[in-house]
A and B are shown apart, each in its own frame.
Chain A
Amino acid sequence: DGGITQSPKYLFRKEGQNVTLSCEQNLNHDAMYWYRQDPGQGLRLIYYSQIVNDFQKGDIAEGYSVSREKKESFPLTVTSAQKNPTAFYLCASSMALRAYEQYFGPGTRLTVT
């Protein structure tokens, strides 16, 4: 089955710790995206990558970092510099230059206490 996987589904961390969220896709998509979803707010773009070894900041990149070493994988690290990290994190992918046709993973709920 083709799709996007995110793991784990739920993640708990103590304040001050960095944490890495996994995102893998087997759709052969070139572009991948990370969003954050908070109650009452739309999805906000954190980072996106249109090709391996290249990525761009989205609207709320501060306190986050990414890497894109393989086409299939786009991990997101939430660093201790992120002031309000508790949120639902969503990964998506699309074919090149078809951001209007993004497919999402199931999400990771991160809770930092």
Chain B
Amino acid sequence: QKEVEQDPGPLSVPEGAIVSLNCTYSNSAFQYFMWYRQYSRKGPELLMYTYSSGNKEDGRFTAQVDKSSKYISLFIRDSQPSDSATYLCAMKTGGNEKLTFGTGTRLTIIP
């Protein structure tokens, strides 16, 4: 079983819809949770990081962490065609500087 599981998609939604992207994990020692956006053939771009549980909002993006369920989510409001990309979740314990990545979810926003 992988430490971090992420549905690869692909996920297609109409423009303007709310998108929900999710990851589950098995390592209860994870304390930092990150979301990256990666356009085709480009390097990942950090969208948000959260520490421990709770919500964090940045513009149209909201990251949510539920440590009791070992489940994290990224919500995108008012989705735009420019949001079409692969979204990667990543996690880190407090004890070292290594990240564990999910495999990524490919998202397409249909105009």
Residues of A whose CB lies within 8 Å of any CB of B are 4, 6, 31, 40-45, 48, 50, 58-59, 88, 90, 92, 97, 99-107, 109
Q: Which 5 A-B pairs have the closest CB atoms?
A: A42-B101, A104-B43, A99-B97, A100-B32, A43-B101
CB distance from B2 to the nearest CB of A (A): 8
Q: How far is the CA of A60 from the CA of B66 in the complex (A)?
A: 30
Q: Is residue B45 within 8 Å, beta carbon to beta carbon, of the partner chain? A: yes
A42 contacts B43, C-beta separation under 8 Å: no
Q: Tell me if B's interface is mostly helix, strand, loop or mixed.
A: strand
**In the bound complex, do residue A31 and residue B42 qualify as a contact, i.e. CB atoms below 8 Å apart?**
no
Of A44, A58, A97, A101, the residue contacting B49 (CB under 8 A) is: A101
Minimum CB distance partner of B97 in chain A = A99
Contact yes or no, A102 B99, CB < 8 A: yes
User: Taking the complex as formed, is B77 at the interface, i.e. its CB lies under 8 A from any CB of chain A?
Assistant: no
Contact: B44 with A99, CB < 8 Å?
no
Q: Which residues of A contact B13 (CB under 8 A)?
A: none
- In the complex, chain A residues whose CB is within 8 Å of the CB of B41: 88, 107, 109
B4's partner among A42, A99, A101, A105 (CB-CB below 8 A) is: A42
Cβ contacts under 8 Å, B92 to chain A: 99-100
